Amino acid sequence: MKSFKSFYSKNKKMFNWFFGIITILFIGFIYYIIQGLPSLEELENPKASLATIVLTEDGEEIGRFFKDESRVEANIDSIPTHLINALIATEDKKFFDHWGVDIERFIQGLFKTFIFGRREGASTITQQLAKNLYGFKGKNESAFATIVRKIREWITAFNIERTYTKNEILEMYLNISYFGRGAYGIERASRIFFNKPVASLTIPESAVLVAILPSSVVYDPIRHPDRLLNRRNLILSEMLEEDFITEKEYNYYKKFPLGVQISKTVRKYRGSIAPYFVEYLRQQLEEMQFEYGFDIYKDGLVINTTLNSKMQKFANQAVIEHIDAFQTEFDKRWNWNNNQEVLNEYIDKTIKVQPDYIKAESQSERKRIYSKYLENNDFINKIKKNVQTIEVGFVALDAKNGHIKAMVGGRDVYNGTGLNHTTQILRQPGSSFKPIIYSVAISRGLFPAYPILNQPFVYEGWSPRNFETNEVGGYMTLRDALRNSVNLVAARLVIEGYVPLWQVAEHALKMGIKNKLNLYPSISLGASEVYPIELVSAFGTIANKGIYNKPMGISSIQDRNGIYLAKFRSQTSEALDEATAYILANMMESVVNNGTGASIRSRFGFQRPAAGKTGTNSDYKDAWFVGFTPQIAAGAWVGFNDPRISFTGSYGQGAKAALPIWAKFMKSTYDSLKFPIEYFEPPSGGSVVNVDYCRSSIYISGRPKLASDGCSSGIISDIMKKIDIPNINNLRSDSSYNIIDNIDDGDSL
């Protein structure tokens, strides 16, 4: 002892330096440990990465947003007691007795590891929670890193036990754990593996999910069912040992098969009933993140939408039934020999992105590979099939508030997430744009029985012709012209000055068409491109008595605790006066009752009050039908991604290519959902009245005359705004309309 004291006194300075360095290193080590611990705030408010769920208005899940994880939280009260028992019996028998660390189990684990060379886990449920919740990783780490991690786990486990009750710890653990196959959390795992909520799990099913916990790879139910079955039965035996089940139950349950049925619900929203709609919302939500301060990929939001699951399914069914049959019809008629240049372009483009072509090291090698593909009939036929695939866009809105009730953005109704053919394509609407033209005419004082000359003309090199009908000659009323989709009348409304182009743009914008229009006379026949959803919205404005509602798909957003972050209301504005909207709707009813849309009644048997308009653009490239009832506005576009591909005959008209989708959808929706019967009602106050006209004054002279003034040629009854009656006989000479009168057949204007 004296010698040590003597040695110390002689080397006191060295010892002080040594202990000082050790102290500094220890303090630094402790600081390093502490720096890697979660803060008190993080500990009290752990924020796991949770999937955002998208729900229909009637509560059906149609999609979820997440990046690396997909979780749905389960409340401890919804988790069956036998599942908790299975977890305790297997993972942490002393869970309710320790304070985060089981010292006895830890020592036993060390002894077995170092004496017998057999690794045995000693982590408690709380330690595992700390590891999962705060990212304490243990893969491919050094011995020093393992010691640091374990210390951090211990400290965090103690703090977790101080902060939370045992039930809260169990709830967090089960909501954080990964069960494989994209299942983060016990609720998600239950739905993926057994297609049921966690509250409905049986004892053997609960044992299966607990069995997966140590390794979702080793005990994967599809790849390694035997391993999982053996471990499931081991867990049942542990439950028996802990008196959680009886011996009779154990012998009964261990004979059960796994019973795993992997849910068809897959990552994100492929397989959803409305994948295009969900993607449409995702894009909107990403733009909203900064304003509202949420992250749609990890904050576990609930997005409540306007979509109706039943109506969406009816839309899917209508599209599939019609397009599958229509594709067969098109394939019979399409001839690539007449379109070889287009085909060659696609073949060339496709070959040049093939891996072997890209990796070729010389030009001669590329030529050889190119020739190989050209001679491969299966390869060429696949290209042909892809290019000539008919695409579709269909959307249905609540006419009263603009809520999106159904949306089919493409041919692949359940898995498509690419180009949305309701919101992302611009196409010429053809005659389905005419109601916009007529809305201007009616608002400026014209009326359904007003006559326009149905004669060909040439205007600055433009010479439109009738498409749906070849009938020309004499005068035709606006109602008859719209009902039969007469091009010459619509065109004359513009070039004769009844409908100024600037007012077409104004009406279109107010009614819902936000895309900039090309204001040429040919717009009267739908030559300017529009987005399908905007055209449907414009028709919804007519149905809604002239009030425009911006289409909306999100009704509210809730956080993971059910607190509302935002609620949304319809954005409305007045676009048309009520009288104009009613007269227009009444004229469009004629299209459905006995015009180009009459097959809605005769063929498809839809008898509810309805109005609409067919549309076919030049060369049969795009087919449309847009229509509405007093409750629902909906529209279908049918065509091709490449506008150089087109229908080759009258079977590609809107009435044949697009109308059936609308009719099938409406018939199914109204038959199933039992909407009350509503009619298009005239505005109160008598602003729209029934009027009798002299037949000859309309069809012969083209100068409308009231029958009350004397009429020997018979009468025509129709409606008009009451305010216009005093001017009816002088309308064509009213200079405020800038009318070009007395246009003869073939005159150049």
Which tens digit of pLDDT belongs to each residue from 504-544?
999 999 999 999 999 999 999 999 999 999 999 999 999 99
The string of pLDDT tens digits covering residues 89-116 is 888 787 877 765 665 665 565 555 545 4
**How many folded domains does the chain comprise?**
3
Distances (CA, A) of 215 to 83, 92, 179, 227: 18, 17, 8, 11
Which tokens sit at 475?
A: 């005068």
- Residue 138 belongs to a domain with what CATH number? 1.10.3810.10
**What does the pLDDT average to over 286-296?**
84
Distances (CA, A) of 343 to 346, 377, 390: 5, 13, 16
Stretch (H or E) spanning 727: none
Residues 108 and 246 in one domain: yes
Cβ pair 288, 600 in contact under 8 A? no
Listed range (352-366, 424-438, 503-517, 648-662) with the worst mean pLDDT: 352-366
**Selection from 203, 183, 187 nearest residue 262 by Cα:** 183
Mark 29-38 as b/e (b = at least 16 C-beta within 10 Å): eeeebeebbb
Cβ pair 82, 205 in contact under 8 A? no
Q: How far apart are CA 555 and CA 479, in angstroms?
A: 39
pLDDT at 563 over 60: yes
Residues 161 and 235 in one domain: yes
Which tokens sit at 487?
A: 């091009």
pLDDT at 144 over 70: no
pLDDT of residue 518: 94
More confident residue, 22 or 591: 591
Is residue 492 domain-resident?
yes
* DSSP annotation of 354: S
Q: 746 falls in which pLDDT band (50, 70, 90)?
A: very low
Q: How far apart are CA 221 and CA 260, in angstroms?
A: 7
Is residue 670 domain-resident?
no
More confident residue, 8 or 744: 8
Q: How far apart are CA 52 and CA 47, in angstroms?
A: 14
Residues 139 and 207 in one domain: yes
Q: How far apart are CA 569 and CA 499, in angstroms?
A: 34
Cβ pair 432, 619 in contact under 8 A? no
Residue 114's CB is within 10 A of a number of other CB atoms, namely: 9
**What does the pLDDT average to over 302-306?**
97
Residues 218 and 111 in one domain: yes
Q: How far apart are CA 647 and CA 334, in angstroms?
A: 8
**What does the pLDDT average to over 311-335?**
94
pLDDT at 731 over 60: no
Cβ pair 515, 529 in contact under 8 A? yes
Query: Which residue, chain included where needed, has tokens 């010292």?
Result: 103
pLDDT at 503 over 50: yes
pLDDT of residue 222: 80
Residues 14 and 149 in one domain: no
Q: Which of 260-274, 403-417, 567-581 has the highest mean pLDDT?
A: 567-581
pLDDT at 653 over 80: yes
Which tokens sit at 508?
A: 């279109």
Domain around 494: 445-498+684-749
Task: Give first-to-last CA distance, the chain, whole Å.
Answer: 125
pLDDT of residue 420: 94
Residue 472's CB is within 10 A of a number of other CB atoms, namely: 15
pLDDT of residue 545: 97
Residues 79 and 184 in one domain: yes
The string of pLDDT tens digits covering residues 209-265 is 999 988 887 888 887 888 899 999 999 999 999 999 999 999 999 888 888 877 543
Question: Helix, strand, or coil here: 656?
Answer: helix
Residues 204 and 86 in one domain: yes
Stretch (H or E) spanning 271: none
Q: How far apart are CA 520 and CA 525, in angstroms?
A: 10
Cα 382 from chain centre: 28
Is residue 276 domain-resident?
no
Q: 43 CB contacts (<8 Å, ≥6 apart)?
A: 156, 159, 160, 163
**Selection from 625, 616, 622, 609 nearest residue 659 by Cα:** 625
pLDDT of residue 139: 47
Mark 355-377 as b/e (b = at least 16 C-beta within 10 Å): eebeebeeeeebeebbeebeeee
Stretch (H or E) spanning 443: helix 434-443
More confident residue, 144 or 403: 403
Cβ pair 575, 548 in contact under 8 A? yes
Residues 105 and 233 in one domain: yes
pLDDT at 123 over 70: yes
Q: 382 CB contacts (<8 Å, ≥6 apart)?
A: none
* DSSP annotation of 516: P
Q: How far apart are CA 75 and CA 93, in angstroms?
A: 22
Last residue of a domain, one of 209, 233, 253: 253
Is residue 202 domain-resident?
yes
Is residue 405 domain-resident?
no
Residues 16 and 150 in one domain: no
Residues 161 and 230 in one domain: yes
Is residue 429 domain-resident?
no
Q: 360 CB contacts (<8 Å, ≥6 apart)?
A: 366, 369
Q: 281 falls in which pLDDT band (50, 70, 90)?
A: very high
Q: 39 falls in which pLDDT band (50, 70, 90)?
A: low
Residues 95 and 223 in one domain: yes
Q: How far apart are CA 250 and CA 248, in angstroms?
A: 5
pLDDT, mean over the chain: 84
Residues 122 and 242 in one domain: yes
The string of pLDDT tens digits covering residues 590-616 is 999 999 999 999 999 999 999 999 999
Question: Helix, strand, or coil here: 612?
Answer: strand
* DSSP annotation of 723: G
Last residue of a domain, one of 218, 238, 253: 253
Q: 267 falls in which pLDDT band (50, 70, 90)?
A: very low
* DSSP annotation of 743: P
Is residue 123 domain-resident?
yes
Beta-ladder partners of 442: none
Cβ pair 521, 272 in contact under 8 A? no
Q: Would strands 302-305 and 52-55 be described as parallel, antiparallel, or unpaired?
A: parallel
Listed range (16-30, 296-310, 593-607, 665-679) with the worst mean pLDDT: 16-30
Q: Give, in degrees to the nearest 5, the angle at Cα 474 between 470 and 476.
A: 80
Cα 71 from chain centre: 20
Question: Helix, strand, or coil here: 373?
Answer: helix
Q: Which of 16-25, 391-400, 618-627 has the highest mean pLDDT?
A: 391-400
**What does the pLDDT average to over 465-489?**
89
Cβ pair 303, 557 in contact under 8 A? yes
Q: 555 falls in which pLDDT band (50, 70, 90)?
A: very high
Backbone φ, ψ for residue 527 (5° rounding) = -85, -10
Is residue 321 domain-resident?
no
More confident residue, 646 or 67: 646
More confident residue, 88 or 44: 88
More confident residue, 105 or 340: 340
Beta-ladder partners of 719: 690
Q: 483 falls in which pLDDT band (50, 70, 90)?
A: very high
pLDDT at 417 over 80: no
